[in-house]
Amino acid sequence: MAATTPSRVAPTREPRISYRRKLLIQRIAIYIILVVVALIFLLPMFWMLSTSLKPKSQWFAREIQWIPETFTTASYQRLLNNQSTPIGLWFINSLIVGTIATTLILIIDSLAAYAYARMEFRGRKPLFALLLATLFLPGLMFLIPNFVTIARLGFLNSFTGVILPGLAGVFGVFFLRQFFEGIPRDLEEAAQIDGASQVQTFFRIALPLAKPAIATLAIITFLASWNDFLWPLLILKDRELQTLPPGLRTLQGAYTSEYGQMMAGAVIAAVPVLVIYVTLQRFIVQSVATTGLAGQ
């Protein structure tokens, strides 16, 4: 991409040089703006890390210290050793909830999506229209009644209660159905002529082809679960059962003005998703762009 512009400009002769210089200045100006904006995004995250690695005496230092004068992991140690804020457990809880929720959503949604995309059955169209219609309903309508349902089922204070309502979501079904519909029918028809059942066709042909879409849904679902705040806050009351985001709120209450520990907690919650983001960045950005555009 980057190579096309210079080659287009290159053949022009002497009088165009001033034009090229103008273009160069314009480019430098754009880069300066881009870098300044990038710093606005990066520096707060750096400040979080920096605070978490400073000794207490330097949190309120007179002069600003972007890079700690002395590095220490004291905040992390105090956080991890404090029984009343078991952040290690919260981390594991978040991991368990995120993994189970993601796995179940992938299974449930890919089955449903394939049926809505490729199978003929009575009620298919009205049912799918009903699913789509709920995409336009604000989630807050379901907060109170679902809380009541979970309480009545006896799932308060359990991971089941956190995970279950999220599995009803329609986005994954919609997203995967789009993908299944894009697969050429010939492959599946060929398999069926060879005597494969619908179930076999799904598992042997359609599912392997849908790997990229399933991977995208897996990332989005895991991030959403890992970052979810309000629902786990309502459902998980025991300290030992909390996930990280509500746990950070507990930290805030437990450590009055102990900013080092709070930022250490924020770093612990942020690092896994940032690692996922940095490694799969292109993939994630691409999928948001395409689903966003499809959403219009």
Instruction: Give residues 223-242 in contact with another protein (rule: CB under 8 A).
Output: 223, 226-230, 234
Closest distance between another protein and the C-beta of residue 41, in Å?
5
Q: Is 68 in the site for another protein (CB under 8 A)?
A: no
| Among residues 244, 255, 261, 264, the one that binds another protein under rule CB under 8 A | 244
Q: Is 34 in the site for another protein (CB under 8 A)?
A: yes
What does the alpha-carbon distance between residue 243 and residue 16 come to, in Å, rounded to a whole number? 61
Piece of 32-40, 70-78, 84-92, 207-215 that binds another protein (CB under 8 A):
32-40
Closest distance between another protein and the C-beta of residue 211, in Å?
19
Closest distance between another protein and the C-beta of residue 31, in Å?
8
What does the alpha-carbon distance between residue 116 and residue 170 come to, in Å, rounded to a whole number? 12
Q: Could you say which residues in the range 140-169 bind another protein, by CB under 8 A?
A: 140-149, 151, 164-165, 167-169
Q: Is 98 in the site for another protein (CB under 8 A)?
A: no
| Among residues 88, 197, 203, 240, the one that binds another protein under rule CB under 8 A | 197
Q: Which amino acid is at 247?
A: G
What does the alpha-carbon distance between residue 155 and residue 179 come to, in Å, rounded to a whole number? 34
What does the alpha-carbon distance between residue 230 and residue 274 come to, in Å, rounded to a whole number? 21
Closest distance between another protein and the C-beta of residue 99, in Å?
17
What does the alpha-carbon distance between residue 284 and residue 270 come to, in Å, rounded to a whole number? 17
| Among residues 101, 131, 241, 264, the one that binds another protein under rule CB under 8 A | 131
What does the alpha-carbon distance between residue 232 and residue 157 come to, in Å, rounded to a whole number? 9
Q: Is 57 in the site for another protein (CB under 8 A)?
A: no
Kindly report each contact of residues 283-286 with a partner whose C-beta sits within 8 Å and lies 24 or more positions away, as own/partner: 283/215, 283/216, 283/219, 284/216, 284/219, 284/220
| Among residues 11, 126, 184, 195, the one that binds another protein under rule CB under 8 A | 195
CA triple 249-255-260, angle to 5 deg: 95
Q: Is 28 in the site for another protein (CB under 8 A)?
A: no
Closest distance between another protein and the C-beta of residue 281, in Å?
5
| Spatial contact of 227 and 273, defined as CB atoms under 8 Å apart | yes
CA distance between the termini of the chain: 27
Q: Is 174 in the site for another protein (CB under 8 A)?
A: no
Q: Could you say which residues in the range 265-284 bind another protein, by CB under 8 A?
A: 265-266, 269-270, 273-274, 276-277, 281-282, 284
Q: Which residue has the tokens 């990229």?
A: 212
| Among residues 76, 91, 114, 231, the one that binds another protein under rule CB under 8 A | 114
Q: Is 246 in the site for another protein (CB under 8 A)?
A: yes
Dihedral sign (CA 220, 222, 225, 226): negative
What does the alpha-carbon distance between residue 87 and residue 79 come to, in Å, rounded to a whole number? 7
Question: What is the number of H-type helices and E-type strands within the chain?
Answer: 15, 0
Structure tokens at 68: 């700690």
Q: Is 59 in the site for another protein (CB under 8 A)?
A: yes
Closest distance between another protein and the C-beta of residue 70, in Å?
17
Judged by beta carbon, residue 143 or residue 187, the one nearer another protein is 143
